[in-house]
């Protein structure tokens, strides 16, 4: 399956401009044969956190409507990247999984909020993981800073997850960690990891790019540049993961009673 990773710059706080850009990138990925599309974190707003309550969309808002319509019209699957979502008087950093009929099959709100980027001042944390099925098998999603917390990807893997999606806005100042952690999560959990990071800069950070698709053996199948907007298309054989698990049966050798 061809997977399109939409590595985009984000116009801070300009929701309409960001939707237009994403629409053009979705069209490019479609023209290049992609059947699965993945967007980055908070791509409609960027980290305009002081205004996030005003910029946030309600559940089922226009951005989600745009993505579900795209999936339904073209018979493709979409991982929405995350959207600032208003519900119950709070704002959540929320990602959706959308099937080829344009139906939402799962949503996930970021559990771990990073104080270094002031998320905990403006956003509410989620409280549950997301495991779901799409055409290529069982999958899960985490968001950016969640990548540092090994327990969450491991819990998803133990529940049957075979592909992990990671939309992010990861800064260049911690760029080496981005690549190392994504590859480590893939190897230790024997998962495909599809991680989409933004490029460009905001008021406080330069972002790292390097969106990447990693197989369960830790091989990088495709990777974006450090600073360029691009649609990275990865050719992913999702069935190959089971052969890797048979070859190296790590999960059968676990001894959780000891730890």
Active site residue 103: no
For 84, 153, 159, 189, the CA distances from 56, given in Å and listed in that order, are 5, 27, 31, 34
Active site residue 258: no
- Hey, what are 240's tokens? 């190959």
Q: Which residues of 86-111 are buried (b: 16+ CB within 10 A; e: fewer)?
A: beeeebbbbbbbbbbebebebbbbbb
User: Residue 216: helix, strand or coil by DSSP?
Assistant: coil
Active site residue 95: no
* CA neighbor of 79 nearest in space, from 179, 184, 6, 185: 6
From 110, 129, 169, 223, active-site residue = 110
From 144, 161, 169, 223, active-site residue = 144
* DSSP state, residue 207: B
Instruction: Give one DSSP letter per residue of 5-67, joined into a string.
Output: EEE----TT-HHHHHHHHHHHHHHHHHTT-SEEE--TTTTT-S-GGGHHHH-EETT-HHHHHH
Question: Cα(first)–Cα(last) distance of the chain, in Å?
Answer: 38
Residues with a known catalytic role:
41, 110, 144
């Amino acid at each position: 399956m061809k997977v399109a990773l939409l590595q985009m710059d984000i116009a801070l706080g300009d929701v309409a401009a960001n939707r237009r850009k994403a629409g053009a990138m979705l069209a490019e990925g479609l023209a290049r044969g992609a059947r699965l599309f993945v967007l980055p974190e908070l791509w409609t707003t960027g980290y305009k956190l002081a205004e996030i309550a005003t910029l946030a969309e309600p559940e089922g808002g226009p951005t989600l409507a745009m993505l579900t319509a795209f999936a339904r019209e073209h018979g493709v699957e979409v991982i929405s990247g995350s959207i600032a979502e208003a519900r119950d008087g709070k704002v959540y950093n929320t990602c959706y999984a959308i099937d080829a009929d344009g139906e939402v099959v799962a949503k996930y709100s970021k559990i771990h909020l990073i104080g270094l980027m002031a998320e905990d001042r403006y956003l509410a944390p989620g409280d549950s993981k997301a495991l779901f099925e799409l055409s290529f098998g069982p999958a899960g999603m985490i968001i950016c800073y969640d990548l540092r917390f090994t327990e969450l990807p491991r819990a998803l893997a133990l529940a049957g997850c075979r592909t992990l999606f990671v939309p992010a806005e990861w800064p260049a100042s911690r760029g080496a960690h981005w690549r190392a952690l994504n590859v480590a999560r893939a190897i230790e959990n024997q998962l495909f990891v599809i991680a989409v990071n933004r490029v460009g800069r905001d008021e406080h950070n330069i972002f790292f790019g390097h969106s990447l698709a990693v197989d369960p053996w830790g091989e990088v199948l495709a990777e974006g540049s450090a600073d360029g907007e691009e649609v990275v298309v990865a050719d992913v054989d999702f069935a190959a993961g089971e052969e890797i698990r048979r070859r190296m049966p790590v999960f059968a050798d676990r001894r959780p009673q000891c730890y």
